[in-house]
Chains A and B, each alone.
Chain A
């Protein structure tokens, strides 16, 4: 059982000079290593919820625990250094090179120069920016996508356990955003960070999150896996929100492992094999293009773990559609 990284205990937030609560009575646990997306329209309280975690905003009431300890009892600067923080406008320091930006926190933590230099290079590789070309550049010499890559690298510099991301890809063009999303999924798999990721983009939330938290009017409407939400929306608001996605979009969200049927231990079948993360959209395309009616689902390392038939695909798609219509 994974440890609980962050726990909200009846957390509410009311801004000064307003009568309404931005966030009302949130209770929730987030286990270590999970990728949580927080989805909502503007004014839903999603960003407020995120920014209470690193105390950019202070909760009006309730308590937030970080690995079991109330964050109010932690020294704020030391606590924040354990959290990677990425915001939409990136906020790189314009008078420092990429290298200096990424090395800021390690330097404050007094790592030795060699270790910092190695760390910076490793991080730049991780976010797909060749260190030799990029480490001496200044932020203004980077495109928007490259800036956010550096922002991501800077946030991970001191190897934080937790990452908070506030619409990090919101201002980036569609193609670059897709690449960044995929890279982020890869990074999360590899490093097993706990990530809280705020977005207003339904597809993005469903694509990235192991679990999606839907916020509306300061309350959590539903907190479940993408499949759980699409197949069983908790209320009308959630149903309406996901109905804004058309069926093709929804198939892109659903992953092979969420609908696959169990198979016998030994499979000698020569059928096409897909990864557990493959989207149903791609599987449908395969069915249509190759006139096939089943594929096998393979988990790297564990071999074949399930199968998806044409019938199963139809049923799960319809289920999602009927329930959310």
Chain B
């Protein structure tokens, strides 16, 4: 175990960075798509139900199947991997964006508009801060699941920590399998922890529990 680490730490670091790159890039693209989609469909009950059940169906497709399904379109490598990860994230992120905005009490919205606030003010100063905890919750779950699913992307030569896992499996070599597992779990754990702390801050803010830093 340790000898393997000492001998191949440089390769492992490269795989880790590659993994991070896959995860970060697909998360950024996912967010850029999901937030506007979520905002757009949150206004209509019918539209949000329809869109969410569609994304739900897509989400239930096994990742290996989705990878091979998209291979003809994007070919082997990172492009396909990122496309698949983005597609999976849509369900989680869109759903949480919609839920976040729909969970705001109607009376707050009515009072806000009734007292003469503009839609812009309502969005940035009222609705967004109140929806933020749930949106951040979605980002956290999406991040953790992306870190996991991204390991499977190694199958289509997208690199990342999955390479360690699959090589280990093929060669029946335990240290590789273990290090692949440890590194990806550690990554998921740390990401979860970091995002959880942001989320906790946002919850405090939205509920009006923070003190001293508002004035």
A residues near B, CB below 8 A? 54, 56, 76-85, 87-97, 99-100, 104-105, 108, 136, 138-141, 151, 154-155, 164
The reply on B57 being an interface residue by CB < 8 A is: no
Interface of A is mostly: mixed
Interface locus among B6-14, B143-151, B203-211: B203-211
Given contacts A96-B208, A97-B214, A140-B208, contact A91 B121 (CB under 8 A): no
B114 proximity list for chain A (CB < 8 A): 54, 56, 80, 83, 85, 87, 164
Q: How far is the CB of A249 from chain B (nearest CB, A)?
A: 31
What are 20 A-B pairs with beta-carbon distances under 8 A?
A54-B114, A56-B110, A77-B116, A77-B118, A80-B113, A81-B116, A85-B114, A88-B107, A91-B107, A91-B110, A92-B111, A94-B130, A94-B208, A95-B130, A95-B206, A99-B215, A108-B116, A108-B117, A108-B121, A141-B208
B174 proximity list for chain A (CB < 8 A): none
8 Å CB interface, B192-215 against A: 205-209, 214-215
From A79, A83, A85, contact of B111 by CB (8 A)? A85
By the criterion CB–CB under 8 Å, are A138 and B208 in contact? yes
Given contacts A91-B110, A91-B111, contact A79 B116 (CB under 8 A): yes
Q: How far is the CB of A183 from chain B (nearest CB, A)?
A: 20
Given contacts A97-B208, A97-B214, contact A154 B115 (CB under 8 A): yes
By the criterion CB–CB under 8 Å, are B207 and A94 in contact? yes
- Give Cα A164 to B111, complex, Å: 11
The reply on B126 being an interface residue by CB < 8 A is: yes
Q: How far is the CB of B208 from chain A (nearest CB, A)?
A: 3
* Least CB separation from B114: chain A residue: A85
* Least CB separation from A98: chain B residue: B208
A76 proximity list for chain B (CB < 8 A): 116
Given contacts A56-B110, A91-B108, A93-B126, contact A104 B208 (CB under 8 A): no
By the criterion CB–CB under 8 Å, are A95 and B207 in contact? yes
Size of interface on B: residues with Cβ below 8 Å to A: 25
* Least CB separation from A155: chain B residue: B115
Could you mark each residue 95-138 of chain B with 1 if its beta carbon is under 8 Å from any beta carbon of chain A, else 0? 00000000001111111111111100100001001100000000
- Give Cα A275 to B129, complex, Å: 51
Given contacts A87-B107, A91-B107, A94-B130, contact A77 B117 (CB under 8 A): yes
* Least CB separation from A154: chain B residue: B115
By the criterion CB–CB under 8 Å, are B113 and A93 in contact? no
Interface of B is mostly: helix
* Least CB separation from A86: chain B residue: B111
Q: How far is the CB of A38 from chain B (nearest CB, A)?
A: 17
A82 proximity list for chain B (CB < 8 A): 116
B107 proximity list for chain A (CB < 8 A): 87-91
Q: How far is the CB of B204 from chain A (nearest CB, A)?
A: 9
Q: Top 4 A-B pairs ranked by shortest CB distance?
A: A138-B208, A91-B111, A80-B116, A89-B107
Q: How far is the CB of B109 from chain A (nearest CB, A)?
A: 8
A97 proximity list for chain B (CB < 8 A): 208, 214-215
- Give Cα A136 to B130, complex, Å: 19
B214 proximity list for chain A (CB < 8 A): 96-97, 100
A54 proximity list for chain B (CB < 8 A): 114
- Give Cα A139 to B110, complex, Å: 17
* Beyond A94-B206, A96-B214, 6 extra complex contacts between A and B, CB < 8 Å: A54-B114, A82-B116, A89-B106, A91-B110, A94-B130, A100-B214
Q: How far is the CB of B144 from chain A (nearest CB, A)?
A: 27
Q: How far is the CB of A170 from chain B (nearest CB, A)?
A: 12
- Give Cα A97 to B207, complex, Å: 10
Which of B115, B117, B130 lies at the interface centre, i.e. has the most chain A CB atoms within 10 A of its CB?
A: B115
From A100, A105, A141, A151, contact of B116 by CB (8 A)? A105
By the criterion CB–CB under 8 Å, are B115 and A94 in contact? no
- Give Cα A88 to B106, complex, Å: 12
B116 proximity list for chain A (CB < 8 A): 76-83, 105, 108
A154 proximity list for chain B (CB < 8 A): 115
* Least CB separation from B209: chain A residue: A138
Given contacts A89-B107, A91-B107, A97-B214, contact A104 B209 (CB under 8 A): no
B208 proximity list for chain A (CB < 8 A): 94-97, 138-141
A81 proximity list for chain B (CB < 8 A): 115-116
Q: How far is the CB of A117 from chain B (nearest CB, A)?
A: 10
Q: How far is the CB of A155 from chain B (nearest CB, A)?
A: 7
B121 proximity list for chain A (CB < 8 A): 108
A80 proximity list for chain B (CB < 8 A): 113-116
* Least CB separation from B132: chain A residue: A95
- Give Cα A2 to B108, complex, Å: 34
Q: How far is the CB of B168 from chain A (nearest CB, A)?
A: 48
- Give Cα A80 to B113, complex, Å: 8
- Give Cα A108 to B124, complex, Å: 14
8 Å CB interface, B158-215 against A: 205-209, 214-215
- Give Cα A151 to B117, complex, Å: 15
